[in-house]
Amino acid sequence: MRRLSFLKATVFGATAFGAEPSALPPAMLADGNAVAAYGVPSPFEADVVRRPSGLLSPALTPLGDLTGTITPSGLCFTRNHAGVPQIDPHAHRLLVHGLVRRPLTFTVADLLRFPAVTRTHFLECAGNGAPGWQQLGATVQFSHGLASNCEWTGAALRDVLEEAGANANATWVLAEGADGDLYERSIPLAAALDGALIVYAQNGERLRPEQGYPLRLLLPGLEGSANVKWLRRLHVTDAPAYSRNETASYARLNRDGTRTIFDLTMDVKSVVTTPSAGQRLAGRGAYEIRGLAWSGHGRIAAVDVTLDDGATWQPAALHDPVLPKAFTRFSMPLRFDGSELRVASRARDDAGRVQPTAAEFAALRGLDATYHVNAIQTWRVAADGAVSLGS
């Protein structure tokens, strides 16, 4: 692929090489501020925040403002049902009971004694990508911001369950959180044993309260609502509980009007984050198309990008690391000449699943689907460089 020139002064209005600055900047004329006990972003980045805000409302990750694949802990999306409880980790307990040989109660300190496992995985709300979010704001933060990608550390759930000794007829685990919603979800035991963690740390520090402090479940690749926060109980059973949160809520609507429950794995998905709605290309010249891709089924194998609403596709470059069930960065050079563009991405995972077009998704699931929406997202780049939702 031919490399575009990014250093022409006529593209960016940059100072020509060899020119001398006219004066020293103010930052070089005085001492700087003292270092804070806990670091915070520059005040010039004050607009890079989660939206919308509110105690009980979801708060969305600003995907279009971030680089790399790791989401800063303070910008990870949140979805809570009864606010954020404040839990004393010294008093908190995790009960493992039901179809086990030895019912056990663990303190947080007990779980810290297990072998620590650290892995990078995405978390995505089942409702991410639903059309209703775009009514609140026409940016990638609203269309796809109910997803984050972090480094998680905790005890392997398999190790904890082995301490209790699940019976031969055990096939499900009911996980319960210590919040005011009495939130609980049924998890297939096979999923609980497939790389799941009881997490106590995120991005190298202890969990934030809104992320489940002091303990939460991490079920790689499964919808966010199954990753129970403020974890206090694991009830091993031989059948799902059919709890309120998995029947009245988080039940996937089908085209024929029926609903499917326990369809937990998030499908292959991608989105262009630059350029995306709400942004503007500064003028003609060289740019880079950038985006994210992920799949709950495994690794991303390829991402293609279109500039003409799917009439033609070009392969994008995947950036290392390409990890299973984690965000993968992709990019492709763009020479913007003032022609109107329709920009979108299409991901394929290593299991051969391909992200559908909006029409293909609607044909499969109908127009009213609100969960597991993974249709291709198109952005319109106007002749003046303004980017908006594609039509």
On whether both 289 and 336 belong to a single domain, the answer is: yes
| Separation in Å, CA 344 to CA 203, 272, 277, 339 | 30, 6, 12, 16
- Report the pLDDT value the prediction gives residue 216, as an integer from 0 to 100: 98
- Report the pLDDT value the prediction gives residue 81, as an integer from 0 to 100: 86
Looking up residue 303, the CATH number of its domain turns out to be 2.60.40.650
Q: What is the C-alpha separation between 327 and 323, in angstroms, rounded?
A: 8
239: which 2 tokens? 């059948």
On whether both 244 and 343 belong to a single domain, the answer is: no
On whether both 248 and 310 belong to a single domain, the answer is: no
- Report the pLDDT value the prediction gives residue 367, as an integer from 0 to 100: 75
Q: Where in the sequence is the domain holding 80, given as residue range(s)?
A: 63-256
On whether both 80 and 172 belong to a single domain, the answer is: yes
Does residue 36 fall inside a structural domain? Answer: no
**Tokens 């799902």 label which residue?**
240
Q: What is the C-alpha separation between 134 and 139, in angstroms, rounded?
A: 7
**Last residue of one domain, picked from the residues 189, 224, 256:** 256
- Report the pLDDT value the prediction gives residue 14, as an integer from 0 to 100: 57
Nearest CA among 298, 384, 386 for reference residue 337? 384
- Report the pLDDT value the prediction gives residue 54, as an integer from 0 to 100: 66
66: which 2 tokens? 């971030």
On whether both 310 and 384 belong to a single domain, the answer is: yes
- Report the pLDDT value the prediction gives residue 281, as an integer from 0 to 100: 97
Nearest CA among 184, 192, 187, 171 for reference residue 233? 184
On whether both 94 and 128 belong to a single domain, the answer is: yes
**Cβ–Cβ under 8 Å, residues 253 and 298:** no
On whether both 236 and 282 belong to a single domain, the answer is: no
On whether both 325 and 243 belong to a single domain, the answer is: no
Across 263-285, b (16+ Cβ under 10 Å) vs e yields bbbbbbbbbbbbbbbbbebeeeb
Residue 159's Cβ-count burial label (10 Å; 0-12, 13-18, 19+) is: middle
Does residue 317 fall inside a structural domain? Answer: yes
- Report the pLDDT value the prediction gives residue 9, as an integer from 0 to 100: 44
On whether both 249 and 294 belong to a single domain, the answer is: no
DSSP state of 47: T
Give Cβ neighbours of residue 305 (< 8 Å, ≥ 6 apart): 272, 289, 291, 313, 314, 315, 316, 330, 332, 343, 344, 345, 346
H or E element that contains 206:
strand 205-206
What pTM, to 2 d.p., does this model score?
A: 0.93
On whether both 289 and 208 belong to a single domain, the answer is: no
- Report the pLDDT value the prediction gives residue 17, as an integer from 0 to 100: 53
Sign of the dihedral defined by the CA atoms of residues 293, 298, 301, 304, in that order? negative
**Last residue of one domain, picked from the residues 224, 256, 288:** 256
- Report the pLDDT value the prediction gives residue 296, as an integer from 0 to 100: 98
**Cβ–Cβ under 8 Å, residues 146 and 266:** no
**At CA 329, angle to CA 323 and CA 334, rounded to 5?**
155
Q: What is the C-alpha separation between 230 and 185, in angstroms, rounded?
A: 13
Cis peptide before 214 (omega within 30 of 0): yes
**Cβ–Cβ under 8 Å, residues 294 and 355:** no
Does residue 168 fall inside a structural domain? Answer: yes
Q: What 3-state class would DSSP assign to 143?
A: helix
Nearest CA among 149, 325, 145, 142 for reference residue 222? 325
Q: Per-block average pLDDT, block size 10, for the chain (391 residues)? A: 53 55 84 92 94 77 97 95 94 98 98 98 94 80 96 98 95 96 94 94 98 98 97 98 89 82 95 97 97 98 98 98 98 97 98 96 85 95 95 65
For the chain, the domain total comes to 2
